[in-house]
Amino acid sequence: MTIALTGGTGFVGQAVLDAAERQGLSIRALARTVPSDRNSVTWVQGSLSDAAALAKLVEGAEAVIHVAGLTNTPDPAEFEAANVTGTEALLAATKAAKIKRFVFVSSLSAREPHLSLYGASKQRAEEAVKASGINWTILRPPGVYGPRDIDYLDMFKAAKLGIVPLPPGGASSMIHVDDLAELLLACVPASAKLRRRTFEPDDGREGGWSHKEMAREIGKAVGRNVFAPHLPKWVLTAAAGFDRVARGDKAKLTADRVGYMTHPNWVSRSSMAVPADIWAPRIATPDGLRSTAEWYRKQGWL
């Protein structure tokens, strides 16, 4: 079996490549810049806007895993092009190649599309997948962390200093990137239990993690007791402005992110859990946070 993968050079995509290598699976992956350290992967150079590259990517594949997507940008208009138009283009190539299986990585933010342009773009991408006529499965991961991640890195750095600023009170689910990667591969077979279903996976912790609990666990992972104050939305909005000035296009805290960060409930719903005989998480979040902190240290990131 050959699996076509988008986003293979990204955080989640690299974990999928690691998992596929462990399982001896054949992957053909799309990349703007082909890496030199993944000899077990067949690379196709191009992007989601390159019809010829997409056709080459999916040719002869039995399934498509669509990971690529834009999660943060200083220009919110880019969400539409990357997440919606890009998904539609990949779906068109998939259908033209007569591939029946399509696994799409969405986001919990898609269930509240009014909160952010990112979430709205993922919701529209989901609708495109559902209307495609393909045998699809949609996954809405919660907070994804692990080696190579840069989004949670700032929280680890803050915890090392003893203070972790938080959004207003709320809770969210978590999942380790390796567990998510194993899930994506587990979704490739065309099981009747997966056919045209949307799932919200997590680490198995009922009710997720409150923001303060997560800050404390990250503190433990770096060996610090942390002070974790909740900040009101207006403070976060102002901080987003400062981050844009300080880091320009590389700013991690944007006004769009503030929109969904301040929502109180990003807990995966048990009614949308993946069937246990298909997949179950292996990595408890406290253990995963400790190993992630160790990986950051070894890389000199922390």
Interval 34-43: pLDDT, tens: 998 888 899 9
Annotation: CATH topology of 2-148+174-206+267-282 = Rossmann fold (3.40.50)
Contact 82, 124 (CB under 8 A): no
| Mean of pLDDT values over 192-217 | 97
With cut-offs at 50, 70 and 90, classify the pLDDT of residue 1. Answer: confident
pLDDT reported for residue 239: 84
Within 13 A of 209's CA, how many CA atoms are on the CB side? Answer: 20
| Angstrom distance (rounded) from CA 29 to CA 27 | 6
pLDDT reported for residue 245: 75
DSSP sequence for 207-225: T-EEHHHHHHHHHHHHT--
Buried/exposed 63-79: b ≥16 CB within 10 Å, e otherwise = bbbbbbbbbebeebeeb
pLDDT reported for residue 246: 80
Any idea where the domains of the chain sit in the sequence?
Answer: 2-148+174-206+267-282
Residue 58: left if φ>0, alpha if ψ -120 to 50, beta else—which one? alpha
| Angstrom distance (rounded) from CA 139 to CA 157 | 29
| Mean of pLDDT values over 203-212 | 97
Type of residue at 176: H
| Angstrom distance (rounded) from CA 136 to CA 50 | 22
Angle 278-280-285 (CA atoms, 0-180°, nearest 5)? 160
| Mean of pLDDT values over 219-245 | 91
Type of residue at 39: N
With cut-offs at 50, 70 and 90, classify the pLDDT of residue 186. Answer: very high
Q: What is the mean pLDDT of the chain?
A: 95
Condensed to tens digits (0 to 9), the pLDDT of residues 89-98 reads: 999 999 999 9
With cut-offs at 50, 70 and 90, classify the pLDDT of residue 251. Answer: confident
| Angstrom distance (rounded) from CA 194 to CA 278 | 9
